[in-house]
Amino acid sequence: MNDFPETMLVHDQPNPWQAVVPPIVQTSLFTFKTVEEMEARVRGETTRPVYSRGDNPTVREFERKLATLEGADDARAFSSGMGAISAAILSVVKAGDKVVCVRHVYPDTYRFLEKLMTRLGVSAQYLDGSDTDALIDSLPGAKLLYLESPTSWTMETQDLPRIAKAARALGVVTIIDNSWATPIHQQPLTHGIDMVVHSASKYLSGHSDIVAGVVAGNSERMAAVNDLSYPYLGAKLSPMEGWLLLRGLRTLPMRMAWQWSSTRQLLARLQKHSAVSQVLHPWCQPGPGTACLKGYSSLFTLELAEGINMRTFCNQLQLFQLGVSWGGHESLVVPALVSRAQASGPNSQIDFGVTDRMVRLHVGFENAEDLWCDLTAALDAAGRPG
Ligand SMILES: *Cc1c(COP(=O)(O)O)cnc(C)c1O
C-alpha cells in the first residue's frame, strides 16, 4: 500500500505526541540513564542516537525516505551535494586508483577530481558519456566509474544497464549523480548502479531555501561511507534542514509533474522558434539513457541563433531570474558566458562543446503561458537571427 512515493512521503514514523508533522530534534547529544545502557550502545547492541554528527532522528527520517525512493538499503544526508559527492568518492578510492568520469559532469565534481583527488594520487579520465562502448572499454584497471545522466549543460544520457553490467563484471564501483531526474523519474540502483548521489539543494528540497546532499546505496556501500568518510569529513546535515527536506519531499511528485507539464509546452514551442538553434533536453534529443527515464524534469539548455544578443536576452527576461542553481519554485536563467568566467581552474563542460550562444533555463512553478510570453518578449528584444 505504501509502495507509491506520494503515499510513502506523507506518512512518517510515529512520534510520542501523534503530531502529524514530526518534531525537529534540535539537539547535539542524547543522554543515557546508566553506564550499562551507554556500553550497550557503544558495543552496537542498540541503535539509539548518541551524537548528531552520527545520527539525528529528524535527519534519519529523511535518510530513510530517500533510501525508500531510490530502492536503496540506506542513505546518508550531507550538508551539501558536494559533501555527499566527495564522501561517496572517498569511500571508494585510495591512492593509485583510477576514476573514469563522464566529461560533462557537474563542474565542481570535475574540480574535486582534478584539483584535490589528483593531489592524493587518484587519477581521472573523462569520456563522452553517450559513447557507451568507449566508457566500457575504459573500465579495465579502473576502481570507480562516475556518471551523471543527464549531464550538466549538455544533457547527455548514459546507458545505465549496459554500463552497470560491464562495471560489475570487472569489479568497478559505479556512482551516479541523480539530481536532475530525482528518484521519481530515475532509479539507477534498479539498473545495477552501486551508489546514487544528489544535490538535495535542487528538486528534493524544492524551494531554494537550503543547501543539502545525500548518498544512497546497498548496505555494503553505505557501510563504507559510514566507516571511511561520513564521520570524519563532518559535513552532516542540520536537523532543521532535515525537517525542511521532509516537508519538501512531500510535494516532490506533484512538483515534478507540474514543472514537466510547463516545460514540455515551452520545449515544443522553442524547438520551432527561429531564434533558437538547438534545445538540449533528453525529451528533444533522445540518447542511450533515455529509456531509463520514467519522466522528465524542467532544466534544459538553449542555444540561440547567430544575431541574437545573449546579454540582452538574459537582461530582458523578467520571470526567469538570473541565478545559479535550480530545482526550486522560481524560474532561472544562467548564460554559459558567465559560467565560463565563474570559476578559476579547470572547467569540464566549457572545454567540450558548450558555446557562449547557450543559456541554461530552469522552469519553476509560474504559469507556462506567462513564461512563454517572457521568453518571446526577451527573444524579440534581443535581435534577429542571421
Ligand atoms: C548543484 C549540483 C551539485 C552540487 O550540489 P550542492 O548542493 O550545490 O553542493 C551536484 N551535482 C549537480 C548535478 C548539481 O546541479
Q: Is the pLDDT of residue 347 over 90?
A: no
Cis peptide before 5 (omega within 30 of 0): no
Q: Whose C-alpha lies nearest to ligand 1, atom 12?
A: 106
Domain contains 20: no
The mean pLDDT of 219-242, rounded to a whole number, is: 97
DSSP 153: T
**Closest residue to atom 5 of ligand 1, CA basis:** 81
Give domain status of residue 162, yes or no. no
Pocket residue to mutate for ligand 1, from 89, 112, 201, most atoms within 8 A of Cβ:
201
Rounded Cα–Cα distance for residues 116 and 362 (Å): 30
* Residues 297, 253 contacting (CB under 8 angstroms): no
One-letter identity of residue 127: L
Residue 26's CB is within 10 A of a number of other CB atoms, namely 12
Scanning the structure block, which residue is given the C-alpha cell 522528465?
A: 296
Mutate to test the pocket of ligand 1, among 101, 108, 153 (most ligand atoms within 8 A of CB): 108
In a domain? residue 128: no
Q: 349 pLDDT exceeds 60? A: no
**Amino acid 353: pLDDT:** 78
Residue 112 pLDDT exceeds 60: yes
Question: Is 240 a residue whose pLDDT tops 70?
Answer: yes
d(CA 340, CA 354): 9
Residue 343: pLDDT band with limits 50, 70, 90: low
Q: What's the average model confidence in pLDDT over 213-237?
A: 97
In 121-200, DSSP assigns E strands to 123-127, 144-148, 173-177, 195-199
For residue 339, what pLDDT is reported? Answer: 82
Q: Which class for 249: exposed (0-12), middle (13-18), buried (19 or more C-beta within 10 A)?
A: buried
Structural domain tally of the chain?
1
Residue 351: per-residue pLDDT = 62
CA 171/CA 139 separation, integer angstroms: 9
Asked if residue 259 belongs to a domain, the reply is yes
CATH number of the domain that residue 264 is part of: 3.90.1150.10
What b/e sequence results for 113-151 when a residue is b if at least 16 CB atoms lie within 10 Å of its CB, and e otherwise? Answer: bbeebeeeebebebebbbbbeebbebbeebbbbbbbbbb
The pLDDT mean for the chain works out to 95
* pLDDT of 2: 60
HSE at residue 146, side-chain half, CA atoms within 13 A, is 27
Average pLDDT over residues 229-258: 98
pLDDT band at 311 (very low <50, low <70, confident <90, very high): very high
Determine the residue type at 37. Answer: E
Q: What is the pLDDT of residue 309?
A: 97
Rounded distance between C-alpha atoms, residue 194 and residue 205, angstroms: 23
**Residue 157 counted as domain residue:** no
Q: Return the ligand 1 atom nearest residue 84 CA.
A: 9
* Placement of cell 531526474 in the chain: 181
Q: Given a cut of 90, is residue 293 above it in pLDDT?
A: yes
Residues 6+ apart with CB under 8 A from 251: 206
- Taking phi over 0 as left and psi of -120 to 50 as alpha, with beta for the rest, 184 belongs to alpha
Helical H segments across the chain, by residue range = 5-10, 35-42, 57-70, 81-90, 107-111, 132-137, 160-170, 182-185, 219-224, 230-233, 239-250, 252-270, 310-316, 336-342, 348-351, 368-381
Summarised one tens digit per residue, pLDDT across range 40-88 is 999 999 999 999 999 999 999 999 999 999 999 999 999 999 999 999 9
Burial degree of 215 (CB within 10 A; 0-12, 13-18, 19+): buried
Kindly state whether residue 311 falls inside one of the protein's structural domains.
yes
The binding-site residues of ligand 1, defined as CB within 6 angstroms of any ligand atom, are 80-82, 106, 148, 152, 177, 179, 199, 201-202, 211, 213
- Nine-digit cell string for 360: 541554461
Backbone angles phi, psi at 91, to 5 degrees: -80, -10
Structure confidence at residue 385 (pLDDT) = 86
Which ligand 1 atom minimizes the distance to the CA of 152?
A: 13
Atom 6 of ligand 1: nearest residue by CA position: 81
- Calpha distance 197→201 (Å, rounded): 12
The three three-digit cell numbers of residue 334, written as one number: 544562467
Please compute the mean of the pLDDT values over residues 285-302 and round it to a whole number. Answer: 97
Residue range(s) defining the domain that contains residue 327:
252-382
Residue identifier of the C-alpha nearest atom 2 of ligand 1: 199
Closest among 196, 92, 90 to 143, alpha carbons compared? 92
108 within some domain: no
Whether the per-residue pLDDT at 209 is higher than 70: the answer is: yes
Separation of alpha carbons 157 and 177, rounded Å: 12
Per-residue confidence (pLDDT) for residue 344, from 0 to 100: 53
Distance from Cα 177 to the centre of ligand 1, integer Å:
9
For residue 80, what pLDDT is reported?
Answer: 98
Out of 89, 104, 106, give the residue to mutate to test ligand 1, the one with the largest number of ligand atoms within 8 Å of its CB: 106
Distances (CA, A) of 91 to 149, 213, 220: 21, 16, 11
* In the chain, % of residues over pLDDT 90: 91
d(C-alpha 252, C-alpha 247), whole Å: 9
Domain presence at residue 261: yes
Q: What is the arithmetic mean of pLDDT over 239-244?
A: 98
Q: pTM here?
A: 0.96
Residue ID of nearest Cα to ligand 1 atom 7? 81
3-49 tens-digit pLDDT:
799 999 999 888 999 999 999 999 999 999 999 999 999 999 999 99
Distance of CA 330 from the midpoint of ligand 1 (Å): 17
Query: For 313-338, how does the pLDDT look when each residue is reduced to its tens digit (9 = 90+)?
Result: 999 999 999 999 999 999 999 999 98
